[in-house]
């Protein structure tokens, strides 16, 4: 595609679609133009000329003049249908749909291989941070030990407002929604599903291991209360929602859980809608990436970066899959946690390997101790709204 103008067919014109339109118009160095945008509601008023828009997906998918399909919608099934049809039609595809990708990774991997077309999705994982490309190009499988960090801008914004400005959870969430960082239905963000989908994608590029989203345990910040916040502050810590995958004894484990983070941790100073990712490898020790993790132009810039890479015939090589030494996925790992609850019948403390600290008052109780991640996943305690968990460093 080098030196030619790329014709883009875009699906969706929400926050990210408009962000892409904006960054594309402000960037001089890329030979790409939008030919058609497919949208659901033709009556909605939009900030650009109506001649761009269609409600017929085939105007993009069947148009031989369109080189790249850019998929930016939030309907998982429709997104998979669009992407798989485009790949079968021999078109390169760029997507930002982390849920659709995480739930269909094996099929999407096969479609790319079978049709010999690139499918790029940098924007799906950490918005403006080029983490997938770094994992693909720079880190050899034998050297990488862990990928961990904050990869949800909405929850990080909420936690920053709670800890830095003493706002209530509800007020902070409302602000995040007004700024476009959090969805109208914030469940996927605050319960930790959104960072889990990103983690499933990163797991594949970091270690070559395919994992279904439901195998990875996620618990968010939706049960955080004033008692937990005081507990953190008394220990000079803050709370961050951390997604982590780590190699251990020939296997790899992964989870999304709120952590108590101390000041010396690089993630402590990642504020507001920013994301921060720590890579740990045998020779380079720790490397730290930080960048905006929410908002239209931040995500739009990652989409544009993928479009630009297609000009040079770039594709993911999935080297870790081809090396055939992928670690198996496991939830058999010990975690040191703070578990807060209201009444003794809500939790089973016999599941803990050990308990190093115990507190009881008429209002709340907590223990600090070590427990197996699989037991935590199976127990179901955390479905009760009076129970909360923080992982301790």
Containing H/E element for 256? strand 251-262
Do 309 and 68 meet the contact criterion of CB atoms below 8 Å apart?
A: no
Residue 109 in any domain: the answer is yes
User: Does residue 313 sit in the same domain as residue 338?
Assistant: no
Q: How does residue 2 score in pLDDT terms, banded at 50, 70 and 90?
A: low
Cα separation, 97 vs 74, in Å, equals 7
- Indicate if the pLDDT at residue 199 is higher than 80: yes
Nearest to 252 by CA among 289, 210, 196, 294: 210
Do the domain assignments include residue 204? no
pLDDT digits (tens, 9 = 90+) for 242-297: 999 999 988 999 999 999 999 999 999 999 999 999 999 987 788 999 998 777 77
Residue 78 has pLDDT above 90, yes or no: yes
For 294-342, the pLDDT digits (tens) are 777 778 888 999 999 998 889 999 989 888 788 999 999 999 999 999 9
b/e string for 155-192 if b means 16 or more Cβ within 10 A?
A: bbbbbbbbbeeebebeebbebbbeeebbbeebebbbbb
Whether residues 86 and 116 fall in one domain: yes
Residue 79, pLDDT above cutoff 90? yes
**pLDDT tens by residue, 369-379:** 999 999 999 99
Asked if 310 and 393 sit in the same domain, the reply is no
Q: Are residues 301 and 391 in the same domain?
A: no
SS3 of residue 167 by DSSP: coil
Q: What is the pLDDT of residue 252?
A: 97
- Beta-carbon count within 10 A of 333 CB: 16
| CATH number of the domain that residue 356 is part of | 3.30.70.240
Catalytic-labelled residue, pool 35, 161, 196, 198: 198
Buried b (16+ CB within 10 A) or exposed e, 209-221: bebebeebbbbbb
Residue that terminates a domain, selected from 262, 283, 317:
317
pLDDT of residue 329: 97
Same domain membership, residue 359 and residue 307: no
Annotated catalytic residue 342: no
Which residue would you say has higher pLDDT here, 262 or 19?
262
* The two three-digit tokens of residue 128, written as one number: 């403006």
Residue 1 has pLDDT above 70, yes or no: no
Confidence of residue 83 (pLDDT cuts 50, 70, 90): very high
Q: Is residue 350 part of a domain?
A: yes
Q: Which of 256, 284, 317 is the last residue of a domain?
A: 317
Residues 360, 307 share a domain: no
Tens of pLDDT, residues 349-390: 999 999 999 999 999 999 999 999 999 999 999 999 999 999
pLDDT at residue 86, rounded to an integer: 97
Residues 6+ apart with CB under 8 A from 259: 239, 240, 241, 242, 390, 391, 392, 393
Tell me how far CA of residue 39 lies from CA of 9, 13, 88, 237, in angstroms.
11, 7, 22, 45
**Residue 197: pLDDT above 80?**
yes
Which of these three, 284, 317, 350, is where a domain ends?
A: 317
The reply to whether 64 and 118 lie within a common domain is yes
The confidence score (pLDDT) of residue 378 equals 95
The answer to the question of residue 389 being in a domain is yes
pLDDT of residue 141: 63
19: domain CATH number? 3.40.50.720
- Indicate the number of domains in the chain: 2
- Please tell me what DSSP assigns to residue 108: H
For residue 285, tell me if it sits in a domain: no
Instruction: Please give the Cα distance from 214 to 103 (Å, whole number).
Output: 9
What pLDDT is attached to residue 285? 82
The predicted structure's pLDDT at residue 300: 83
Residues 78 and 11 grouped into a single domain: yes
pTM (predicted TM-score)? 0.95
Same domain, 47 and 95: yes
For residue 29, pLDDT over 80 is answered with no
Residue 241 lies inside a defined structural domain of this protein: no
Orientation angle between helical segments 153-165 and 169-178, nearest 10 degrees: 130
Average pLDDT of the chain to the nearest whole number: 92
Q: Residue 19 above 90 pLDDT?
A: no
Assigned domain for 305 exists: yes
> What pLDDT is attached to residue 372?
98
Cα–Cα–Cα angle for 100, 218, 11, rounded to 5 degrees: 20
- Helices 15-26 and 296-310, interaxial angle, to 10°? 60
What's the pLDDT score for residue 74? Answer: 87
**Residues 160/181, Cβ–Cβ less than 8 Å:** no
Q: What is the pLDDT of residues 212-222, one digit of tens each?
A: 999 999 999 99
Q: Compute the distance between CA of residue 300 and CA of residue 72 in angstroms, rounded to an integer.
A: 10
Asked if the structure places residue 45 within a domain, the reply is yes
The conformation of residue 209, written as its DSSP 8-state character, comes to -
The residue range of the domain holding 84 is 6-127+297-317
Nearest to 318 by CA among 91, 178, 68, 132: 132
Looking at the structure, do residues 32 and 89 belong to the same domain, yes or no? Answer: yes
Residues 118, 34 share a domain: yes
- Helix H or strand E segment including 248: strand 237-248
């Amino acid at each position: 595609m080098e030196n030619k103008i790329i014709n883009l067919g875009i699906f969706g014109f929400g926050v990210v679609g408009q962000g892409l339109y904006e960054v594309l118009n402000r960037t001089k160095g890329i030979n790409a133009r939008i030919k058609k945008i497919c949208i659901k509601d033709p009556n909605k008023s939009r900030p650009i000329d109506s001649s761009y828009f269609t409600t017929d997906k085939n105007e993009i998918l069947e148009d031989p003049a369109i080189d790249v399909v850019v998929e930016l919608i939030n309907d998982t099934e429709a997104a998979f249908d669009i992407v798989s049809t485009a790949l079968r039609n021999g078109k390169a595809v760029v997507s930002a749909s982390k849920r659709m990708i995480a739930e269909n990774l094996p099929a999407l991997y096969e479609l790319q291989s079978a049709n010999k077309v690139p499918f790029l999705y940098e924007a799906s994982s950490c918005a403006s941070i080029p983490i997938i490309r770094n994992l693909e190009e720079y880190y050899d499988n034998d050297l990488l030990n862990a990928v961990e960090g904050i990869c949800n801008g909405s929850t990080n914004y909420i936690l920053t407002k709670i800890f830095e400005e003493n706002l209530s959870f509800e007020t902070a969430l409302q602000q995040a929604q007004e700024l476009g960082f959090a969805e109208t239905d914030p469940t996927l963000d605050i319960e930790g599903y959104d960072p889990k989908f990103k983690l499933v994608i990163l797991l594949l590029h970091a270690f070559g291991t395919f994992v279904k989203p439901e195998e990875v345990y996620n618990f968010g910040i939706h049960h955080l209360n004033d008692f937990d916040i005081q507990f953190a502050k008394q220990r000079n810590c803050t709370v961050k929602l951390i997604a982590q995958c780590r190699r251990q004894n020939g296997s790899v484990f992964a989870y999304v859980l709120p952590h108590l983070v101390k000041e010396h941790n690089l993630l402590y100073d990642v504020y507001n809608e920013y994301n921060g990712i720590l890579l740990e490898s045998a020779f380079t020790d720790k490397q730290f990436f930080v960048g905006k993790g929410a908002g239209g132009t931040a995500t739009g810039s990652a989409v544009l970066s993928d479009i630009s890479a297609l000009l040079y015939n770039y594709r993911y090589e999935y080297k870790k899959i081809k090396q055939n030494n992928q670690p198996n996925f496991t939830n058999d790992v010990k975690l040191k946690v703070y578990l807060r609850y209201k009444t003794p019948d809500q939790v089973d403390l016999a599941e803990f390997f050990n308990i190093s600290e115990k507190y009881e008052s008429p209002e709340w109780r907590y223990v600090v101790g070590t427990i197996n991640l699989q037991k935590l996943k199976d127990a179901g305690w955390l479905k009760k709204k009076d129970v909360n968990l923080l992982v301790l460093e």
